[in-house]
Chains A and B, each alone.
Chain A
Amino acid sequence: MSSPRELLTGWGNTAPSLAVVERPRSDSEVTSALQHDRVIARGLGRSYGDPAQCAGGTVVSNRGLWHLSPIDPDTGLITAGAGVSLDELLAVSIPAGFFVPVTPGTRQVTIGGAIAADIHGKNHHVEGSFMNHVTRLRLATPSGDLEVTPESDPALFWGTAGAMGLTGIVTEATIRLLPIETSWVSVDTERFENLDGVMDAMATGDHRYRYSVAWVDCMTSGPRLGRGVLTRGEHATADMLQGKAARSPLAPPGGTLLTVPITPPSGLLNRLSMSAFNEAWFRRAPKKADGELHSIGAFFHPLDGVAWWNRLHGHRGFLQYQFAVDDAHGDVVRRAIEVLSSERVPSFLAVLKRFGPGNPGPLSFPLEGWTLALDVPIGPPQLPSVLDRLDEMVAEAGGRLYLAKDSRLSPEMFATMYPRASELDAVRHRVDPDGILSSDLTRRIGLTPPA
């Protein structure tokens, strides 16, 4: 062993593995990092499970691939190194009057990671996922460096969307940003006593909003099953601001307020503390409020205020379960919450969202309909089999799990949920004939050989 190796996990702090970590600072250094037997890229490690790990192999950090072009004021196009985080991009783009086209619940993800996971945000129902706004990317592959656009090589471009690094290491991307007048969001909030109310309101009214998300409580039962708070919004225009906000309409988002310095024992977050949190969250929300102004940070990235919040789940770690089903199978959302509630699985408020049509990527997660995501601490003995049951419900409904969140899916279930995965074979054979690109995730779900 020539280089020292590091023990890596995803955001959920589960299933650690050792790998050599290379930190290239140029395209040529990326090329030499690809001269290993087994390689995968890693950004900021915000995937919950094991996609940015490569047991016994080489993990290539993209954080040294850091550069930003000026923003074209007419088209909103910007070219960024794959290691630039959305946080760093927004710090530059917001004062210039531009927002990222898609943001997940955290700004702490890299451009490379956003492409690998084909991330989605609260605007998927109208604007699609991240790759829908990428016009061009540079991909370092074992067969060489490639310039890829949706026109020049649609199979490789869309094959890269959501493929979790299996087609190569993204080194740079050009993205179309969204012009904004202010860094504020005009938000309508509504509270519902049960899941039906939430889902009705979303199905009938989400099309009127650019952003929409509901937080639902998976620990309630009976008539209050899946009670939730729906927040929907639109970028505020300059004429909506008053006072201090009006004097600096394009203030960048703030940094973190708190840091969790240590990992407390597992069990701190249990049924009792989590249901108390859910109760407080629900009570805090107004029954109905229209046109409240929220900062971009507060609206899009509520958890970014607490650095390393994942540590609160203790040394055993946690996972996130996120699935999508089409409109005809919206009942799976209710049935999943019923199972979680009756099996007494502790979980924070789950995120419920509407998805618009998916893009052509064979491994891209979103499909038109519903998506539900919830955080669960590792520990309850019934959890593995409860989630296996949910997998079956989701697969039977033609739905699927989000690979950026997964840490436990079986190869059989993956094959059922992603029947188009084999469409990637030809592309992978072209860019990676020896099959060196693989991660703990791809080995676990059977996308690459297990050993």
Chain B
Amino acid sequence: MQNAFGQPQSVLVLGGTSDIALAVVAKLAADRTKTVVLAGRNEERLAAAAATLKAAGATTVELVAMEASDPSSAAATVDAGIAAAGGSVDLVLIAVGLLGEQSTTEDDPSATIELFDVNLTWPAAALAALRTRLIAQGSGHVAVFSSVAGVRVRRANFSYGSTKAGLDAFTIGFADSVRSSGIKVQVIRPGFVHTKMTEGMKEIPFTTTAEVAADNIVKGLGSSAEVIWTPPILKAVFLVLRHLPAFAWRRMPG
């Protein structure tokens, strides 16, 4: 059960090898989180993550297989994850995602389909599956990883950005639909973070590490904010960027 500070005792991570999500759960494990379920594809990475989380304070770490490129499997993964957590779960982190390579994806219909399946359709299907389950368990908290790339889609990564824009919008509507049931849903919008996903890419302003992002996210999870920005200054930055004229926006570097 969550306590008065919203600190969860059990966490399910969908996309359980995400660097940022794991850094978040490691911090939660130092507080009240003792049960963690990681759903992911790469068994080796999952096993390593489990060891890290146990060292951070989790007493039970369960692993569940998932295949994000097959959205029809999302409901079964959610069910398996909740069962592995013991039948109910306090916090669900949805951290599924591919970055993709813009230059190849934009000319490749099947790569585009895969990107949308993994980044948007699978998570949306998982949220739809979670909706009735969380309402039935009578309490719960969901946080969905979006991205600042979805706030205003850029030429440089419009395929990835638009999957996040779709998920971001879906999540905000979803949040409103379960608000009166006491289920808390938050959108997380990280800026550029140094992780395995962004390895080798050029840094842009306001770049952070997974560690710093996790600090901001844990703080945000304990708040009533609908959107968690990391670093928090990006909220103000995008208030401006959102309204740049299109000709200027097209020339944004990166």
Contacts and interface: CB of A to CB of B under 8 A. Distances in A.
A40 to B, nearest CB: 12
Contacts of B224: 315-316
Interface in A373-419: 378, 381, 383-384, 407-410
Interface string A36-79: 00000000000001100011110000000000000000000000
B245 interface: no
Interface in B1-26: 1-7, 9-10
Query: Which range contains the number of B residues in contact with the other chain?
Result: 20 to 34
B209 interface: no
Nearest to B137: A56
A18 interface: yes
A15 B10 contact: no
A50 B182 contact: no
A450 B86 CA distance: 8
A413 to B, nearest CB: 11
A443 interface: yes
Contacts of A384: 5, 7, 31, 222
Interface size class of A (residues with CB under 8 A): 20 to 34
B10 A18 contact: no
B138 to A, nearest CB: 3
B3 A408 contact: yes
Nearest to A57: B138
B1 A15 contact: yes
Nearest to B10: A450
A15 B3 CA distance: 6
A407 B3 CA distance: 6
A248 B139 CA distance: 51
B61 interface: no
A18 B135 contact: yes
B4 A19 contact: no
B3 to A, nearest CB: 4
A444 interface: yes
Nearest to B83: A451
B88 A450 contact: yes
A254 to B, nearest CB: 32
A381 B32 CA distance: 16
B180 interface: yes
A19 B87 CA distance: 17
B1 A7 contact: no
Contact of B32 (A54, A316, A410): A410
Q: Which of B6, B135, B139 neighbours the largest number of chain A CB atoms within 10 Å of its CB?
A: B139
A249 interface: no
Interface in B87-140: 87-88, 135-139
Nearest to A318: B4
A18 B181 contact: yes
Contacts of A253: none
A55 B138 contact: yes
A377 B7 CA distance: 16
A14 interface: yes
A12 interface: yes
Given A7-B182, A381-B219, A451-B88, A17 B4 contact: no
B217 to A, nearest CB: 14
A16 interface: yes
Given A56-B88, A450-B86, A444 B138 contact: no
A14 B224 CA distance: 12
A319 interface: yes
A56 B2 contact: no
A23 interface: no
Contact of B1 (A1, A315, A316, A440): A440
A59 to B, nearest CB: 10
B136 A450 contact: no
Contacts of B7: 384, 408
A317 interface: yes
What 4 pairs between A and B have smallest CB-CB spacing? Answer: A55-B138, A56-B138, A451-B87, A407-B4
Given A18-B182, A443-B1, 9 more contacts: A16-B139, A17-B138, A17-B139, A19-B138, A56-B137, A57-B138, A381-B219, A444-B9, A450-B86
Interface of A: 1, 5, 7, 12, 14-19, 49-50, 54-57, 315-317, 319, 378, 381, 383-384, 407-410, 440, 443-444, 449-451
5 contacts: A19-B138, A378-B4, A384-B7, A407-B3, A408-B4
